[in-house]
A and B are shown apart, each in its own frame.
Chain A
Amino acid sequence: MDTGQEMNNTLTVVTREQVSRWMDGDIASHELELAMKTLCAEETRYCWAELHFVGDAIRGLEPSKAGCADRIRSAIAIEPTVMAPQVKTARQRLEIAQEKSLFASMRKVGRGGRAWATAAAVAAVGFVGTVVYQQQLSLSPTATIAQSNGASQPGAEAGSPVATTSVVARNDDFNTLLQAHRESADASSLYAVRQYLRPAVAMQPNAAPQ
């Protein structure tokens, strides 16, 4: 005769404790697969049934007639197997709930959290901007061209931002071209963008800046 005691002896205490907490919903999403596989085993099924019986007995529920669940199981066994289309799974629901919980935690952090995020973003932009600017500075036309002509620029030496971009003419034709441009260009068409323009100074190779 196979008694309940014998059925339970085949299960370890660890497994029974797992069943105890799983039946209360104390189960992490990552152990769901293991839980379902374990619960469907015959020995664990008995443990599941017994622990639910204990809970119902504590609540004062009347016991079922002996073998009631087995009769239902036999009746279900001869039913055609259900194959229903899957909608959103419980696991997906749990993951959604976890995401909501995460967002809720972030909201709890509140303005302080947002301020930290903003500060971090500004710091990152500032850092990248500084690095790029320094790279551009080291490759600026002033320094390159001036060095190529053996002339030194005070601004470049100091490493400070250059307010005036000096363009060193490589030949005499440049000044002629520049003069012609000034005379023929319609100055009013540059009005809208003049704030973005910086004055260009034409320099003779051996002449001092004007």
Chain B
Amino acid sequence: MPMTDRLVDQELVERAQAGDKRAFDLLVLKYQRKVQRLVSRFVRDSGEVDDVVQEAFIKAYRALPSFRGDAAFYTWIYRIAINCAKNYLSSPGRRIVAASSLETDETEDAESFDRNTGLHDVATPDAEYASKQIAETVNRAMAALPEDLRTAVTLREIEGLSYEEIAEAMDCPIGTVRSRIFRAREAIATELRPLLGTREDRRW
């Protein structure tokens, strides 16, 4: 029986709890954009968003001993990020508050934030241009994919289906699903690479 996405996170958390900082780094790489989007609902300035995101991950790292795995890691890190954002906003001199966001229930499932539009009113023109370029490139790459690859990667990335569920939906072996998803990602990554920057200045 394969592991779930959540169990992989849990394994990484346990390694980080055992002193492996690289494992925590993999979690940062996985969740930084989701946390960033969540924080951007509270804090509008993109520079301040980065500060809050960084603070959230550092606090999460310090609090790792208290994480027992009863909840999913992403639920835990999102809660920490919301608290960091609220503390940041309540600190003296901070008045940029998205009022509707503060009324959001903290226990709301983190996935729902992904579907909402982030607030980037104070985003720099360069950042906006880069985002637009990436979005257009991804859309173009997706459109150029063969139908079966596009369907497989959409079911995985957008709908969040497991490989078993995708195999059932597409009526094909699970090995074919693995291959299709990988080939789709590779095709999109190839198109995106020129936009990702160098190792010293990459987009993550």
Which residues in A have some Cβ–Cβ distance to B below 8 Å? 1-5, 7, 16-17, 20-29, 32, 36, 39-40, 45-46, 48-69, 71-73, 75-77, 79, 81-91, 93-94, 97-98, 101
Chain B residues with CB under 8 A of A2: 198-200
* B173: interface (CB < 8 Å): no
Minimum Cβ distance to chain A for residue B118 (Å): 6
Q: Which of B3, B20, B158 has the most CB of A within 10 A?
A: B3
The binding surface of chain B is classed by DSSP as helix
Chain B residues with CB under 8 A of A22: 8
Number of interface residues of B (CB under 8 A): 82
* B94: interface (CB < 8 Å): no
CA separation between A40 and B24, bound complex, in Å? 10
Tell me if B1 and A94 are in contact (CB < 8 A): yes
Tell me if A86 and B10 are in contact (CB < 8 A): no
CA separation between A68 and B153, bound complex, in Å? 26
* B109: interface (CB < 8 Å): no
Minimum Cβ distance to chain B for residue A41 (Å): 9
CA separation between A69 and B197, bound complex, in Å? 14
Chain B residues with CB under 8 A of A67: 200-202
- Given A20-B178, A20-B182, A68-B36, 6 more contacts at CB 8 Å? A50-B189, A57-B135, A57-B138, A58-B188, A67-B200, A82-B62
Tell me if B7 and A25 are in contact (CB < 8 A): yes
In chain B, positions 65-114 with a C-beta closer than 8 Å to chain A are 65, 67-69, 114
Tell me if A24 and B181 are in contact (CB < 8 A): yes
Chain A residues with CB under 8 A of B21: 73, 76-77, 81
CA separation between A52 and B40, bound complex, in Å? 20
* Given A69-B29, A93-B10: A20 and B185 interface contact (C-beta under 8 Å): yes
CA separation between A61 and B111, bound complex, in Å? 12
CA separation between A65 and B142, bound complex, in Å? 24
Minimum Cβ distance to chain A for residue B158 (Å): 7
In chain B, positions 189-204 with a C-beta closer than 8 Å to chain A are 189, 192-193, 196-204
CA separation between A61 and B39, bound complex, in Å? 13
Minimum Cβ distance to chain B for residue A155 (Å): 60
Tell me if A49 and B204 are in contact (CB < 8 A): yes
* B144: interface (CB < 8 Å): no
* Given A5-B193, A61-B114: A83 and B198 interface contact (C-beta under 8 Å): no
Show 15 residue pairs from A and B whose CB-CB distance is below 8 angstroms, ordered by the A residue.
A21-B178, A24-B163, A26-B178, A29-B3, A36-B23, A49-B204, A52-B30, A55-B157, A61-B34, A62-B40, A64-B33, A67-B201, A68-B36, A73-B25, A90-B7
Q: Pick the contact of B120 from A25, A55, A62 — CB < 8 Å?
A: A62
Q: Pick the contact of A20 from B57, B181, B192 — CB < 8 Å?
A: B181
Tell me if A66 and B197 are in contact (CB < 8 A): yes
Tell me if A17 and B57 are in contact (CB < 8 A): no
Q: Which of B10, B19, B189, B199 has the most CB of A within 10 A?
A: B189
